Amino acid sequence: MKASNKLFYARPLLISIALVIVGLILWNTHNFLREFKKEAQDKMSIWATAQSQFMGADPNVPLGDLVLKIFQSNTKTPMILSHTDGTYSFNNFDEDISQNVEKLERVMERFAKENPPIKIKEGETVLATLYYGESPNLKKLRYFPLALLLILALFSAVVYFALKLEKVAAQNILWASMAKETAHQLATPLSALMGWNSLLIERGISPEISVEINKDLERLSTISNRFSSIGLETGLEKVALIETTQEGIKYLSDRFPKSIDLQFKSQLESHKIPLNKPLYFWCLENLIKNSADAMKGHGTIIVQILKNKKYMVVSVQDHGPGIEKKHLKKVTDPGFSTKKSGWGLGLSLTKRIVTQFHKGILKIHSETNKGTRIEMHFPLV
């Protein structure tokens, strides 16, 4: 209990620490980008000062190495120099946009939003206006936080699915262990009952009753074997689905009260599919008994077999109160039950048998006050 409590409090704590770390990284990245951009703007301000000296200099006087080095140092930042006479100079552009006025205006407008334009002056006279965008390196850095968040999301998804798989594996081990223990506990009284029934048959006491008792004992033995099969690799054999289903319905019909009308419908011809017959009986019996319980022992249950391109579909439909929408996604969870006396194992094991053992699909359709239809889809091959 103490360990589980520690684990309960540890998870939120670890998540909070992870969020704080991510927040700090994003905050530092934002500050770094802001400083990097400020540094780039300072460099462009120096470049504009050099350009001002160049434009206002005497053509007969040498500029000096410093101005030339400043011009040569900027090889990546895209720039547009708008002169007062209506002409333009371009630097670090991959294409010529001088002839496309509309595109030129759009680029200048975008540059003005990215960085404030710089007036190049000689004294108080404006010689030109410098529009410049972000360097390729700065643009790449802007995607760094998004890349970080993407990596974090992928890592979180991997951790989530790993924990989920671990939980499912633990549940599978738990249910398999419980099933094996149940089979073990059934074995002793079952053997004793078989012995007593054999004694009744030998003494000729109510032979017709002994025959029925023997059928139920065989049924109990089958159930015990089913529990023993949970957690083991079960073999699939080619089984005639329609005849097998009719066999199971016949057995249950003889033991249901007359107030339950158990019907079978199918227009298909006999068709064999890969199936584990005892486990299929278990699923069918479980769904039919759930329907009978839902209708409180009165009503009609329809078992129908259909076929599509990939699956043979066995549906069990009742006209009970249905399942509430908020419970639909939970009804196959181990331990979940809407019945006061339910263990919450039936639909969970049914889903496991259909989806894991037979590689099929279990679908549940239900409407409140209209009934429930549960479909077991078994692959044709």
CA dist., res. 266 & res. 262, Å (int) = 14
pLDDT of residue 60: 65
Average pLDDT in the 231-257 region?
85
Q: If you average pLDDT over residues 251-256, what whole number do you get?
A: 85
pLDDT in tens, 303-325: 999 999 999 999 999 999 998 88
Predicted local distance difference test score (pLDDT) of residue 344: 62
pLDDT band per the 50, 70, 90 thresholds, residue 184: low
How many CB atoms are closer than 10 A to CB 51?
A: 22
Q: State the Cα–Cα distance between residues 198 and 361, nearest whole angstrom.
A: 42
Say which residue, 42 or 169, is predicted with more confidence. 42
Using one digit for the tens of pLDDT, what is the confidence trace for 53-87? 777 666 666 666 777 777 777 778 888 888 888 88
More confidently predicted of 154 and 306: 306
pLDDT, averaged across the chain: 82
What is the predicted pLDDT for the residue at 354?
93
CA distances from 113 to 44, 106, 132, 139 (A): 15, 11, 10, 14
Out of 61-75, 179-193, 367-381, the most confident range is: 367-381
User: What pLDDT, on the 0 to 100 scale, is given for residue 379?
Assistant: 94
Which pLDDT belongs to residue 2?
47
Q: What is the mean pLDDT of residues 171-200?
A: 72
- The pLDDT value given to residue 265: 94
Percent of the chain with pLDDT over 90: 20
Query: Which comes out higher in pLDDT, residue 262 or 338?
Result: 262
| Fold adopted by 235-379 | Heat Shock Protein 90 (3.30.565)
pLDDT single digits (tens) 209-219: 877 787 777 77
pLDDT confidence of residue 217? 77
* Closest to 255 (Cα-Cα) out of 283, 295, 292: 292
Per-residue pLDDT at 226: 62
Say yes or no to pLDDT of 364 above 80. Answer: yes
pLDDT at 1 (0 to 100): 44
Global confidence as pTM: 0.52
The answer to whether the CB of 235 falls within 8 A of the CB of 222 is no
| Band of pLDDT at residue 139, cut at 50, 70 and 90 | confident
Cβ proximity of 169 and 211 under 8 Å: no
- Each domain of the chain, given as residue ranges in start order, spans 2-142, 157-232, 235-379
Is the Cα dihedral 39, 44, 49, 50 positive or negative? Answer: positive
In sequence order, the β-bridge partners of residue 56 are none
Asked if residue 99 has pLDDT above 90, the reply is no
Residue 95 above 50 pLDDT?
yes
Mean pLDDT of 249-266: 89
Is the pLDDT reported for residue 378 higher than 80?
A: yes
Does residue 222 have a pLDDT over 80?
Answer: no
Nearest to 115 by CA among 98, 134, 100: 134
**3-state DSSP of the chain:** CHHHHHHHHHHHHHHHHHHHHHHHHHHHHHHHHHHHHHHHHHHHHHHHHHHHHHHHCCCCCCCCHHHHHHHHHCCCCCEEEEECCCCEEEECCCCCCCCCHHHHHHHHHHHHHHCCCEEEEECCEEEEEEEECCCHHHHHHHCHHHHHHHHHHHHHHHHHHHHHHHHHHHHHHHHHHHHHHHHHHHHHHHHHHHHHHHHHHHCCCCHHHHHHHHHHHHHHHHHHHHHHHCCCCCCCEEEEHHHHHHHHHHHHHHHCCCCEEEEEECCCCCCEEEECHHHHHHHHHHHHHHHHHHCCCCEEEEEEEEECCCEEEEEEECCCCCCCHHHHCCCCCCCCCCCCCCCCCHHHHHHHHHHHHCCCEEEEEEECCCEEEEEEEEECC
Average pLDDT of the residues in 113-137: 85
Order of all β-strands in the sheet with 125-132: 88-91, 79-83, 125-132, 118-122
Name the residue with higher pLDDT: 3 or 25: 25
Average of per-residue pLDDT across 269-290: 90
Inform me whether the pLDDT recorded for 263 exceeds 80.
Answer: yes
